[in-house]
Structure 1
Amino acid sequence: MSVEAYMEACNAYYYATRDPLGTAGDFTTAPEISQMFGELVGAALADAWRRAGAPGSAHYVELGPGRGTLAADALRVMRPAGLTPSVHLVETSPILRAAQEAAVPGARHYDDLSTLPDDGPLLLVANEFLDALPIRQHVAGAERHVTLTPAGLAFDRDGPILETSPVRDEAVKELAERLVRQGGTALLVDYGHERSAPGDTLQAVKGHRFAAVLDRPGEHDLTSHVDFQRVAEVAADAGASVAGPVEQGSWLERLGIQMRARALANAAPHRAADIEEARARLCRPDAMGSLFKVLAIHAPGWPRPAGL
């Protein structure tokens, strides 16, 4: 089967059968590291909404919302700004849907973008969503496949690799077209590279460690680095405006994460060291600060989101 089909099948089973997050899982995302991340996402979306004229019938949308932690933190910050959007979560995992329902009561669930509301602006966030969408790999113009050999699974060809992701392109195109029609803004946060470049970025993670991509199919989280140049090109071709990408650490600092960290530490001095450790993990170049990027896609009539 193609690398694309292999990745799709493995991740479909993986996410349907477990909660992969946290210390007991396979990886930890930014919202699980600190409430500061979700709060600043919420503040950025609320600020964009207010500068756009505070239009009614706004919808908060999250793609791949994990346990609902980011949504809960973002919505808590939106309320004092006068923003109480309806909540729509794109999630296929029944295990994660249950966690999201507990964290964000009343949220509506969807299997994909196609059935989201079309009657108002979208305030959307996708944190570590695009990296899990399947990719194709090509070697010397031929598509790479996974084959079964007497020794187990193996790739059918090796050499310099070029990666593409038609599924990712289609998701970004559909999102951008919706924003152009309905208004709104989307914040895409993920790890990846600013410029398109060849190379093998397919990776597997298990128990917070890298694992072999072809080992124990369906038991590892399979991801690839996001090509942000390609994402921006697809969105612009669909008529949307694009801002970024910028490094996550720089973006959070521009939004005031240091001030927020001080406020949390002053309110709970016994947690000051933990709060600073979380801030550093989100922002330091040798942690998540440089590898993770933030790209905004917004309707042409909407303002550029803060920090970008």
Structure 2
Amino acid sequence: MNPLATKIARWIESQGPISVAQYMNLCQFDAEGGSYTARQTIGRDFITSPEVSQTFGEMLGLWVAQTWYDQGRPANPRLIEMGPGRGTLMADALRAITAAAPEFLAVAEIVLVEASPALMTMQREKLKLTSADIAWHERFDDALTDRPLYLIANEFFDCLPVHQYVKTERGWCERMVGNKDGALTFALNPDPVPNSATLLPPSRGTAKDGAVYEVSPAALALAEEIGRAVAKQGGGALIMDYGYDSAGFGDTLQAVANGKPADVLNEPGDSDLSAHVDFLALARAAAAGGAAVYGPTTQCNFLADLGIGERGERLIKSNPTDARDIAIAIDRLVNPAEMGALFKALVLVAQGAPKPPGFGFG
């Protein structure tokens, strides 16, 4: 067991089993062993869309610029990226915005919301050559909601902690992390959830024993907060992630270390944990905050409508020796058998705002 596993095991011995959400939070944000707060490695072990092709970040940058134009170019906009990873997406987005809408950058404040000191260092290095003035915040809060915001959250919500509930003959019981013979292990709370009707989807009654349902209160609260800010101040929010767009059940919690699947309970803090995003739940939360919601739609449809195919053709024309690599990378983003269907896009704008880019298909 690594030091964080030992710490968690001792905590369980003294306080009792912890929820999956508590476990995820410790794995990510423990001051001494968390993957985001203490680990000095390259950051997320997942290969994210911006790392696949520069066209991904460029398309999102153009989405920001076009949304701003369509809304009448509101004054004092703020461009925010949640969990910007290595800074690749923002670098590509800024390059595209600089070419297409330099007047946006002339008036916009740019903020990166990042909790990892190690990743902040990487982002500063990645973005040091940009002429834009960039600020960093550790969290999204009221200080960022006082002006029109254009927010991008790519593969951010999948990292937020989830609670897991398992259907048993006695009802829905929360999955916990316990300590058995010195090793971390999954267990079920012996008492069923008393208010399952408020936690679980309407189809819960048809679930078979052993079915797993995941819910992320942190994700829902954040989606509602962003929706409220957009509804009040204007702008738009683009959420892209892997997940599902229909009510369903399943254990999607996963760990990745060194680019390979890992045991969720093994070496906590040394791997990246995530779970599929419930896009319908996010949409309901954002709507409760007052925002108009578009989607979810597939990443394939969204990027195609933004013009990723045409951008790829121009990129290939400018770099003919790299034509095959460029085509393969873009295909990975949009092919339904690759990332095109599993990844979704959800957009929030103010009520009455123009229809945002990315939804002109069909």
Give yes or no for TM over 0.5. Answer: yes
1:123 match: 150
Contact 1:176 1:235 in 2 (8 A): yes
Q: Decide which of 14, 18, 25 is 1:8's aligned counterpart.
A: 25
Does residue 45 in structure 1 map to residue 67 in structure 2? no
1:152 to partner: Cα distance: 1.5
Q: Decide which of 268, 281, 298 is 2:332's aligned counterpart.
A: 281
2:13 match: none
Contact 1:62 1:71 in 2 (8 A): yes
1:159 to partner: Cα distance: 2.6
Percentage of pairs with the same residue: 41
Larger radius of gyration: 2
Q: Decide which of 238, 244, 255 is 2:289's aligned counterpart.
A: 238
1:14 counterpart SS class: coil
Q: Decide which of 76, 83, 87 is 2:104's aligned counterpart.
A: 83
Structure 2 CA distance for aligned equivalents of residues 18 and 200 of structure 1? 29
Q: Decide which of 177, 184, 197 is 1:146's aligned counterpart.
A: 177
1:245 to partner: Cα distance: 0.8
- Give the number of equivalent residue pairs: 305
- Once the two structures are superposed, residues 21-56 of structure 1 have per-residue CA deviations (whole angstroms, 9 ceiling, x without a partner) of 5xxx72211111111001100111111110100111
Indicate the RMSD between aligned Cα atoms, in angstroms: 1.5
| Structure 2 spans left out of the alignment, 5+ residues | 1-17, 189-208
1:253 to partner: Cα distance: 1.2
1:196 to partner: Cα distance: 2.1
1:75 to partner: Cα distance: 1.7
1:92 match: 115
1:83 counterpart SS class: helix
1:104 to partner: Cα distance: 2.9
Superposition TM-score, scaled by structure 2 size: 0.81
Contact 1:48 1:302 in 2 (8 A): no
- Once the two structures are superposed, residues 249-302 of structure 1 have per-residue CA deviations (whole angstroms, 9 ceiling, x without a partner) of 121111111111111111111111111111011111111111100010111132
1:117 to partner: Cα distance: 3.0
Q: Decide which of 128, 132, 136 is 1:109's aligned counterpart.
A: 136
1:190 match: 241
2:3 match: none
| Structure 1 spans left out of the alignment, 5+ residues | none
Structure 1 CA distance for aligned equivalents of residues 331 and 227 of structure 2? 32
Structure 1 CA distance for aligned equivalents of residues 172 and 42 of structure 2? 35
Question: Aligned runs of 1:148-187 on 2, under 5 Å?
Answer: 148-150=179-181, 152-157=183-188, 159-187=210-238
Structure 2 CA distance for aligned equivalents of residues 111 and 49 of structure 1? 25
Question: Aligned runs of 1:203-242 on 2, under 5 Å?
Answer: 203-242=254-293
1:137 counterpart SS class: strand
1:119 to partner: Cα distance: 3.4
Contact 1:248 1:282 in 2 (8 A): yes
1:99 to partner: Cα distance: 1.4
- For residue 184 of structure 2, what is the amino acid of its counterpart? L
Structure 2 CA distance for aligned equivalents of residues 15 and 286 of structure 1? 31
Does residue 296 in structure 1 map to residue 347 in structure 2? yes
- For residue 261 of structure 1, what is the amino acid of its counterpart? G
Structure 2 CA distance for aligned equivalents of residues 258 and 18 of structure 1? 37
2:205 match: none
1:145 to partner: Cα distance: 0.7
- For residue 129 of structure 1, what is the amino acid of its counterpart? F
1:118 to partner: Cα distance: 3.3
Contact 2:42 2:119 in 1 (8 A): no
1:18 match: 40
- Once the two structures are superposed, residues 104-161 of structure 1 have per-residue CA deviations (whole angstroms, 9 ceiling, x without a partner) of 3431111111144333211110000000000001123222110010162111139321
1:20 to partner: Cα distance: 4.3
